[in-house]
A and B are shown apart, each in its own frame.
Chain A
Amino acid sequence: MASVFEYAPAPESRAIADIAPSYGLFIDGEFVEAADGKVFKTVSPSTEEVLSEVARAGSEDVDRAVKAARRAFEKWSALPGAERAKYLFRIARIIQERSRELAVLETLDNGKPIKETRDADLPLVAAHFFYYAGWADKLDHAGYGANPRPLGVAGQVIPWNFPLLMLAWKIAPALATGNTVVLKPAETTPLSALFFADICRQAGLPKGVVNILPGYGDAGAALVSHPEVNKVAFTGSTAVGKEIARTVAGTRKKVTLELGGKGANIVFDDAPIDQAVEGIVNGIFFNQGQVCCAGSRLLVQESIQEELLDSLKRRLSTLRLGDPLDKNTDIGAINSEEQLTRITSLVEQGEAEGAERWSPACELPESGYWFAPTLFTNVTQAHTVARDEIFGPVLSVLTFRTPDEAVAKANNTPYGLSAGIWTEKGSRILAVANKLRAGVVWSNTFNKFDPTSPFGGYKESGFGREGGRHGLEAYLDV
């Protein structure tokens, strides 16, 4: 009986996601070609297979979409909140009904494991619409005074790491509060947003309330700078976030930015060690580490460093990397060649600067964009891998001796999005959390998200909060 327990391939059927050979822009309730006829290809990062050809929005298209949204705004914002709520509930339900299809689609277009799209992304997407649906007719109770008014047209630019979830974070509160939307998905992951356009049609959403413009950074820039956009919401890199902040300077546009991070995961010597190991793994290898709030810096108390690293390495050796559609895959593909190049170069820099690199034995598929889970030890605050956001499956391990030192090191970054604290001592959790300059602090857990819970950063991780009651403010004239 002594053979190894090899899991046979257990692929989710991709047939459930019926991808058309080409897609248009979704403007004013219709799929249309780009004004200049431009298109781009979207590929599956795990195989480099072309999935579809998608219209590429230019500034003329942005103008059409913003005007459509402007026209739709008057009626949409005048609807009773209870009616807007029912549209959003419809959308939430249709997402639940079609969630497996969307999960497969997202896995194909993004490269992340089906386990994650099925068990994390899609349930959160539906929940987000469900939650904000309920706010649409309760805005009087949200703490922003009686009858708070929407802003108008929201221009939203989202990243490729959680394409549909970031869409939900942007669109659900915007619609609930009575705004209309022009949203640009990332150029490497346009498909789920286009499927969402179809969901809007199934839900009977009035034309022009939601417009989807697949495209590149130029379309995003045109959208952000469009004079008839009243609200800008961006999730992405800190560099682009700063550019947006400059663009909107001197206008009346309301802005929220959700940018990069270099989250510290602080493990004290009295931590629940097995759960801490799981939390560290989840913190940096969830979605291949392509998460703005990833716990990319492990700060471990020196007295347990060895024990923790042994456990961590043993655990990393059980991670299953490969076909993202396989239900047993833990680590999928990196989203794009460009991102893979960035990760590779930063990791090489880390090695060159003297940090010690370790990866479990791990076979990478031949085609597609892949990076093995990687651990850096002997890292100091001065190392690039401890300072720059890598946005990949790379964990830098640093040590500390006292809580003050842990806090000082955790805060010693221009970023301030997330942090984790692992200790069985409640007062230590709260004292450390008090001192951390980060928008989300997880204690004895990591990478937890909920539509009721506000999310967003301090410092160069951006400003404004998404989610929860707080997330309404960004879309209200208050």
Chain B
Amino acid sequence: MPSSALTAAHPLKDVAASDSALRRFLHGLPGVDAVGLEGRAASLGTRSIKTTAKAYAIDLAISMVDLTTLEGADTPGKVRALGAKAVKPDPTDRTTPSTAAVCVYPDMVSVAKEAVAGSGVKVASVATAFPAGRAALDVKLADVRDAVAAGADEIDMVIDRGAFLSGRYLKVYDEITAVKEACGTSARLKVIFETGELSTYDNIRRASWLGMLAGADFIKTSTGKVAVNATPANTLLMLEAVRDFRAQTGIQVGVKPAGGIRTSKDAIKFLVLVNETAGEDWLDSHWFRFGASSLLNDLLMQRQKLATGRYSGPDYVTVD
């Protein structure tokens, strides 16, 4: 796996030398025409994925799910149940792949680790004062270290949208690099932009490059806690960004749409976006994830439908 950090010698390393250099770089990225972007996403949404392709896509999608619970009401019991579900999503069919990860708050990491022990399912933890990100840097870093110490394999951090929107890009950059450092070598870093709050596609492209330059292993759309979360258009845009970033730097970065993806049909549309934008190198749970909870059961019902020819119902998948 290539290193996820730019070497000191890479020409792009310089762009974060100062706030103004970073701003010049980010504002020099090509603009995004919203109508065209959304049109392209909608057009790819008309792809018709049937039979064998559908079976492949459903299993792939299951393997890419970051099965998530991020509620104030979370308990160890809830997290253990989620872990069991992630490992064996469909107890009636052992050929069903495990999900990629479970995603929990930092205080639940150790419970989650135990629940998925020995399975290959990763534990991801949101950190950095998720979801608002409104805390001092040392509090955020303590949050990250706590999760990493508890065994988190992946850290989902939120950027400071206030800083980003007011143009203090270097502050955002520095926070990401600091968090990256706190992740050490054991945890991969997902950087959440909260695209619904960044508001414009130009901002999403800039945030994507900012995150990747700062060392993100994954760029992620949203927290799932605001009105607009992952959409085909914003995910397409981020896929273009990781594609272009790899072309320029050789570094591959993953993409994680999160929030609002609830049906197999939606998930398959996202996989089509991946396939036809970033390409097949990203069609792997190491490089693409779905941040979701209810999606998994719909994928399982569709999987049962393909296996039996009958439409399944919610009574035939587990509620966790």
Contact = CB atoms under 8 A, between A and B. Distances in A.
Contacts of A137: none
B284 A5 contact: no
B30 A272 contact: yes
A445 interface: yes
Given A272-B32, A444-B36, A10 B48 contact: yes
B287 to A, nearest CB: 11
A8 B54 contact: yes
Contact of B50 (A3, A10, A275): A10
A10 B40 CA distance: 20
B6 interface: no
B30 A279 contact: no
Contacts of A279: 36
A16 to B, nearest CB: 16
A5 B46 contact: no
A274 B35 contact: no
Contacts of A327: 46-48
Dominant secondary structure of chain A at its interface with chain B:
loop
Interface in A219-248: none
From B33, B53, B272, name the one whose CB has the most chain A CB atoms within 10 angstroms: B33
A244 B160 CA distance: 67
Given A1-B63, A5-B275, A8-B54, A119 B33 contact: no
A9 B48 CA distance: 9
Interface string A307-334: 0000000000010000000011000000
A424 B200 CA distance: 15
B65 interface: no
A44 to B, nearest CB: 21
Given A5-B275, A318-B276, A444-B36, A10 B49 contact: yes
B57 interface: yes
A4 interface: yes
B contact patch SS: helix
A456 to B, nearest CB: 24
B280 interface: yes
A271 B53 contact: no
B284 A8 contact: no
A113 to B, nearest CB: 11
Nearest to A311: B244
A6 interface: yes
Nearest to B49: A7
Nearest to B42: A119
B280 A4 contact: yes
3 closest residue pairs by CB, A with B: A275-B36, A10-B48, A327-B48
Interface of A: 1-10, 115, 119, 270-275, 278-279, 318, 327-328, 424, 444-445
28 contacts: A1-B97, A1-B283, A2-B283, A4-B280, A4-B283, A5-B53, A5-B56, A6-B52, A6-B53, A7-B47, A7-B53, A119-B46, A270-B30, A271-B30, A272-B31, A272-B36, A273-B30, A275-B36, A275-B40, A278-B36, A278-B39, A279-B36, A327-B47, A327-B48, A328-B47, A424-B31, A444-B35, A445-B33
